[in-house]
Amino acid sequence: NNTVYIIYDPRCKYCHETFNLSRSYVKSGATIKWIPALVLNQSENGKQLAAGILRKPSEDTINKTFNGTDEEINSIKVIPTPQELAELDKHLGALQSIFFYHEDIVAMPKEDREQREAIRSAGQKPQPLTAGVPVAIFVNKKTGKVEARRGTSETATLDYIFK
């Protein structure tokens, strides 16, 4: 059983959908490590929510973040410490690093990859990929290679990752 790491922003609706869709895979034995990052913006509200998740990193906390009442969501928020802010910056940096410097592991349509290679072959540099959430990082069971895959709010993508 492989562990899948999902970098997410606790305010992201697609991350919310990914969490809810992933419950059936977790019940079937999948292991998911949820890594909060502030991708949408650096608001105080986002920092307080993400820091609260770092302090109590559990499925229950993440579930409340995505599916809780306003009162439950507010109960997660804390004043972030400098260490928690640094940790959130590291998570964002890891996400950006994947998309900016390691695009070879980012899943994309074949024609997009070929177009990017053609640009490189012409001696030019393609535009950097846009880092977005949620993104799943995992070892592909069929190839043994590390992949980073977007689109995890879709069942077909989760099936690809977990089956």
CB atoms within 10 A of CB 138: 19
pLDDT (0 to 100) of residue 69: 93
pLDDT 10s digit of each residue in the chain, 163 long?
Answer: 679 999 999 999 999 999 999 999 999 999 999 999 999 888 899 999 999 999 999 999 999 999 999 999 999 999 999 999 999 999 999 999 998 888 888 888 888 989 999 999 999 999 888 888 999 999 998 899 999 999 899 999 999 999 8
Contact by Cβ (8 Å): 9, 37: yes
The SS3 of residue 39 is coil
Per-residue confidence (pLDDT) for residue 1, from 0 to 100: 61
Domains annotated on the chain, with CATH:
3-162 (3.40.30.10)
pTM: 0.89
The conformation of residue 127, written as its DSSP 8-state character, comes to P
HEC string for 49-68 = HHHHHHHCCCHHHHHHHHHC
